[in-house]
A and B are shown apart, each in its own frame.
Chain A
Amino acid sequence: MAFHPPDLQVSPGDTIVWINRDFVPHTATARDSAWTSPPLARDERWRMVAGAPGTGTYICAFHPVMEARLVVEASSSASESDR
C-alpha cells in the first residue's frame, strides 16, 4: 500500500486530489498534523489547495507505514507538471 507518486511537487494555489483506489480505507494526513483528509473509502476522493511554499511529509493515519512527500514550490513561469 502506498501513495502514488511518493513525491509530488506542486505550486501554491494548485489543487491536489487524493483518490483511494484500494480495498481498505485510507487518509492523507500531514505528519505535523497541519492538515488531514477525512477517512476515504474505496473510490472516494478528497482535495486540498496547496498553500505557502514548503516541504513536508504526509502519511496514512490508519497505515503509518504509508508515507509520501509534498513539495510546494513557487515557480517563476506558468506551472507545469513534469510527469
Chain B
Amino acid sequence: MNGRVQTLLFLGTLMGAGTTTAAAAQGLDDPTIAHIAVTANHLDVVGAEQALERAADPRVRAFAETMIRDHNGVIEQAAALAERLGVTPMDNDTSRGLASRAQEVRDALGRLRGTAFDQAYMDNEVAFHETVIGAVESTLVPNASNDELKGLLQAVVPALRAHLEHARRLSAELASR
C-alpha cells in the first residue's frame, strides 16, 4: 500500500488553486478553506482512531492519541473562529476528494496487522503531514481573505511540523527494528 500515491492526489487537488485568480475561479474562498481545514484535521483523527484499534506498538498508540487530542483541538478552534466570523464552512470537491482518499487508505490499512500496520500507518502519517503543511502554506494561507483565519492556519503549522518530526522518527525507529 503506497501512502504516497494517495497524498500526491491530495496535493494535486489543492495545488491547482495556487494563485488568487485561479482560486476565485475554483471557488477557494474562506468558507471553502474553513471546510477543507476542518476536514483535513478530522480525517487525521479518524485515521488515528483506526490506529488505536489496530496498532501493536505502544509508541504508535501514543502518537495516535496525540493526533486525536491535537487535531480535535484545532477543529474546535477553527469552528469557534468560523462561528465568530459568521463564516459557514462550505462543502466542496476538495474536501470530498480528501475524504475518499482517506477512506482508501483506511481500507488498505485495515487489511494489515501488527508491525505491518504500525509501519504503514506511520509512513502514511509522514506523507499526510508533509502534504498538509505544503497545502496550508502554499494554498490555504495565501488564499484566505480574513486575517484571523489566515492567522489560525499559520498558527497550526508548528504543531503540524512537530507531528511530522515525531512521525518521521517513529517511522525510522520501526523500520530499523
Let me know if B166 and A23 touch, CB within 8 A.
no
Let me know if A62 and B159 touch, CB within 8 A.
no
Inside 8 A of B69's CB, which chain A residues have their CB? 24-25, 62
Q: Please measure, in the bound complex, the distance between the C-alpha atom of A23 and the C-alpha atom of B69, giving whole angstroms.
A: 11
Let me know if B162 and A1 touch, CB within 8 A.
yes
CB closest chain-A residue, reference B70: A24
Interface residues of chain B: helix, strand, loop or mixed (majority): helix
| Contacting residue for B77 out of A23, A25, A62, A66, CB 8 A | A23
Inter-chain contact total with CB atoms closer than 8 Å: 34
| Contacting residue for B156 out of A23, A62, A65, CB 8 A | A23
* A65 with B169, Cβ < 8 A, contacts A23-B74, A25-B73 known: yes
Let me know if B162 and A23 touch, CB within 8 A.
no
Residues of A that sit less than 8 Å from B by CB: 1, 22-25, 62-66
The 10 closest A-B pairs by CB, nearest first: A24-B70, A1-B162, A65-B165, A62-B66, A24-B73, A65-B166, A63-B162, A65-B162, A1-B158, A24-B159
Residues of B that sit less than 8 Å from A by CB: 62, 65-66, 69-70, 73-74, 77, 155-156, 158-159, 161-163, 165-166, 169
Contacts A1-B159, A62-B62, A62-B66 supplied; 19 other A-B pairs, CB < 8 Å = A1-B161, A22-B159, A23-B74, A23-B155, A23-B159, A24-B70, A24-B159, A25-B69, A25-B70, A62-B69, A62-B70, A63-B66, A63-B162, A63-B163, A63-B166, A65-B162, A65-B165, A65-B166, A66-B162
